[in-house]
Chain A
Amino acid sequence: NAGVMQNPRHLVRRRGQEARLRCSPMKGHSHVYWYRQLPEEGLKFMVYLQKENIIDESGMPKERFSAEFPKEGPSILRIQQVVRGDSAAYFCASSPQGFNTEAFFGQGTRLTVV
């Protein structure tokens, strides 16, 4: 049973470009979470999705950031018009149920904005 798969592992974008981060949850998991981690800090919640639904996006910046989890395919975190402050590690986690259950993380995508 493969774990949570994220790609790419490393992504370099110039300021103003778009970044697309992909996350395939573990088999049988229909709940996906995105977190952001700055160097030497803890993980900060961004968004929680189920298939075709955004359940909680309270941690998402109001502009430039969006997330989706379509019926088919991976979850996508999209950052438009990236700025240097977007440079961070972005982690995806999945769980079989949404509340009070184990959440397993992927290896992350390290975004560098130059």
Chain B
Amino acid sequence: GENVGLHLPTLSVQEGDNSIINCAYSNSASDYFIWYKQESGKGPQFIIDIRSNMDKRQGQRVTVLLNKTVKHLSLQIAATQPGDSAVYFCAEYAGGTSYGKLTFGQGTILTVHP
């Protein structure tokens, strides 16, 4: 079936570096994407979203890029801090019969070293 997946399961960076987390999706009908951050023992925390009519969206220290041609999504975190250490998930709304249902990717573990 169609799914959302991540290229890299783990990412280690030094404090202050920029981080890039990637996500590939296979459902061309997906038109809304969300990045979530999940810390140990907690629920997913909304970070940023993007709709399919956009290529880029910026938040505070985060930027999401969407490439619909190759069905690729990325999350860029500027000046990564130890508090950014967590698991990051991309999730998609596929529309149609998937009305209301988010499909999550596997997750990438980000570790920030001080």
- A-B interaction: yes
A56 to B101, CA, bound (A): 8
Size category of the binding interface on chain B: 20 to 34
Contact residues, B50-99 vs A (CB, 8 A): 51, 89, 91, 93, 95, 98-99
Q: Are B104 and A105 in contact (CB under 8 A)?
A: no
- What CA separation (Å) do A96 and B31 show in the bound complex? 18
Shortest distance from the beta carbon of B64 to any chain A beta carbon, whole Å: 13
Considering the chains assembled together, what is the distance between the CA atoms of A104 and B36 in angstroms? 10
B101 touches A59 (CB 8 A): yes
How many A-B pairs have beta carbons closer than 8 Å: the answer is 68
Cβ contact within 8 Å between B100 and A91: no
Beta-carbon nearest neighbor of B89 in chain A: A42
The interface stretch among A13-21, A43-51, A65-73, A74-82 is A43-51
CB of B47 to closest CB in A, whole Å: 11
The interface size bin for chain A is: 20 to 34
Question: Is the CB–CB distance between B104 and A42 below 8 Å?
Answer: yes
Interface set of A (CB-CB < 8 Å, partner B): 4, 6, 31, 33, 35, 40-45, 48, 55-56, 58-59, 91, 93, 98-100, 102-108
15 residue pairs of the A-B complex, CB under 8 angstroms, read A41-B107, A43-B104, A45-B101, A48-B100, A48-B101, A56-B98, A99-B93, A99-B100, A100-B32, A102-B49, A105-B36, A105-B43, A105-B46, A106-B43, A107-B42
